[in-house]
Amino acid sequence: MHQAPILITGAAQRIGLYCAKALHQLGYAVVITYRRHRPLIDELQASGIDCIQADFAHSQGVQSFIDTLKQRYQSLRAIIHNASDWHSDQDGELAEVFDAMMAIHAKAPLLLNQALAPMLNEDKADIVHMTDFVAQTGSAKHMAYAASKAALENLTLSLARKLAPKVKVNAIAPALICFNDWDDDAYRQKTLQKSLLGIEPGEQEVFNTLDWLLCSDYVTGRIIHLDGGRHLNLP
């Protein structure tokens, strides 16, 4: 097993969970964060994946997690920022929604990277930000969310410059990856038609991209778009 662990934030469900399990199966030590405890956390812990509760909605929660991680580990192989939240601009006062989205998607990653980058002392080290297709296109109903993901993409560029050549810093920007169980057929068909390839690729598409970035020696400061050609599917 690789000695220094890979940290994945927000990996108790969906894409983060898939990637955590897949990396663990490849022999990596894996540490994940989760917001709320659920029975799955106990199963992951028993399997050998270290699970740490963390709330990245405020700076105190970020610092508490940093302190806990540094008590347990001396080094990291990679940091994968997957923790996310999703709020419509109508879910409250716009200023509050904006602050909440920026706190989780931009401020927390920045603080974590600043504090944990010195632990990335492996010969090959990575930071990967999970962003979103809307960071480049905007969103009429989710302006705050889109803006926060765009901020994270810009941080990718800044950190790639700051941390080179020691650490590679990249981002993965998915569009549709997998549907929720409750998505109805009408929604699924409408969404599939938005891309050129017209498929639901599944979580493995993100993991394959992540694995490629971890194995690469020469890719940094890049936003990898997983959108099935959606950016070219113009009316």
Q: To 10 degrees, the CA torsion angle through 190, 195, 201, 206?
A: -120
CA angle 206, 208, 214 (to 5 degrees): 100
Q: Is 28 a catalytic residue?
A: no
Q: What are phi and psi of 157, to 5 degrees?
A: -65, -45
Integer Cα distance of 25 and 46 in angstroms: 14
Q: Which of 18, 28, 34, 145 is catalytic?
A: 145
Q: What are phi and psi of 193, to 5 degrees?
A: -75, -10
Integer Cα distance of 221 and 169 in angstroms: 6
Check if the beta carbon of residue 77 is closer than 8 Å to that of residue 125. Answer: yes
Tell the burial category of 140 from Cβ atoms under 10 Å away from its Cβ (0-12, 13-18, 19+).
exposed
Structure tokens at 223: 């936003």
* Residues tagged active-site: 145
